[in-house]
Amino acid sequence: MSKIKIGIIGLGYVGLPLARLFATKYAVVGFDINLNRVADLKKGTDFTQEVDDSLLKEVLTNDSNPEVGLFITADSEFLQDCNYYIVTVPTSVDKNNQPVLKPLLSASKTIAKYLQKNDIVIYESTVYPGATEEDCVPVLEKESNLVFNKDFFVGYSPERISPGDKVRTVENILKVTSGSTIETAQKVDALYKSVIKAGTHLAPSIKVAEASKIIENCQRDINIAFVNELSKIFSLMDINTSEVLEAASTKWNFLPFKPGLVGGHCIGVDPYYLAQKAQQYGYYPEIILSGRRLNDSMGHHIASEVVKLMIDKELKVKRASVLILGITFKENCPDIRNTKVIDLYLALESFGLKADVYDPWANKDEVKQEYELDLITNASLLKVNYDAIVLAVSHNEFLSLDLEKLISATGVIFDVKSLYPKSNTDSRL
């Protein structure tokens, strides 16, 4: 193989940090179909805030074939000279929680147009075991007229990026690697090892690598479902869940999970991928799906608890005003993908309350487009005398909010994330 030239398809939360990192050592073409996203990145601006603008500008180049550097484009023609292709497009589920592979297959079709002999295609998108070889490879073969494992090869290296985490960045997270042949696996492993400071783990097969990623998120989902169920039980008993968990955490082997809304691009989606594949083999995964159902129920549960507190204080519920703090799926991050705060919002509205949502991190236009919700992004635009305030996301900015100025004299404050002192709230999850 000649000089390594990497094409990265998808420049979102996963693709851009990876492209930036590889561009410190290799020639990289970053491709994305979102014209606005490409325009912003070419200016050295990343609205996801996963890559510092200064670091991005250091690797950007206008040369489509540099020795080292990142060339960003929305024109797939610039991928034609690459010999490594890395797919980082999102995978999601439909309204029936069935896997949606369309972006993945579309990316495969794009790559196939330029695929040459001995090229390697590496998938990072989270999928069920078998998707790379059973779903993606046939597209590559059909569209390229090349033969798998003879003319071209594939690998799988699951993404492990946690959006908003400025410590465990891509180069500091150990990378699982794999390949369709022994030689390919070694090449894929060597490629990542050359830039990943934390090192790599070479899995024995692509299916093992695919499965390892999906169970990481399934395990976390189930663990959070357990403490969410505890919070429902302890609420009935008038026991503070946070205090119970604090006491239990004094044992050395107790896992410190906390209750909350469980969404995001991975945890809220990946269990359905594994479940769907399991059912194809005739097995119904009870624990995985029950955990997901419980976590999906938390938005309505929190809304119900808020309404109960309002009734206890003899507050009128219908047309009462409520302020929801946060819309992103996690704290100190602009990522709104599959946020479960929207479930809380819709549940409160279904009870007759009128909800404002304030989030200084989220993009107002993106929220409007995705959820048809008019987001407040400036604290100065908040009203006063809210009948209820619900802290849904623990952004640092919310620590400096003067809740007493925002809440009515008899209003209810519900802290989902236990961000505020217990004495300052009416209840916690």
* Residues labelled catalytic: 266
Alpha carbon distances (Å) from 357 to 167, 168, 287, 288, 428: 29, 29, 33, 31, 19
Strands 120-123 and 153-156: parallel
d(CA 75, CA 91): 22
Q: Running DSSP on this structure, what letter comes out for residue 376?
A: B
d(CA 396, CA 166): 14
d(CA 157, CA 18): 12
Please report the beta strands in 75-174, taking only residues with DSSP state E, as ranges in sequence order.
84-87, 92-93, 99-100, 120-123, 153-156
> Which residue shows structure tokens 């042949």?
181
Other beta carbons within 10 Å of 221: 22
d(CA 297, CA 167): 32
d(CA 398, CA 425): 14
Alpha helices in 181-240, H assignment, sequence order: 182-193, 206-236
Other beta carbons within 10 Å of 31: 26
Strands 386-391 and 354-358: unpaired
Look up residue 177 and give its two tokens: 């690697």
Look up residue 425 and give its two tokens: 């709230």
Look up residue 398 and give its two tokens: 């919310």
Alpha helices in 69-166, H assignment, sequence order: 102-112, 131, 137-144
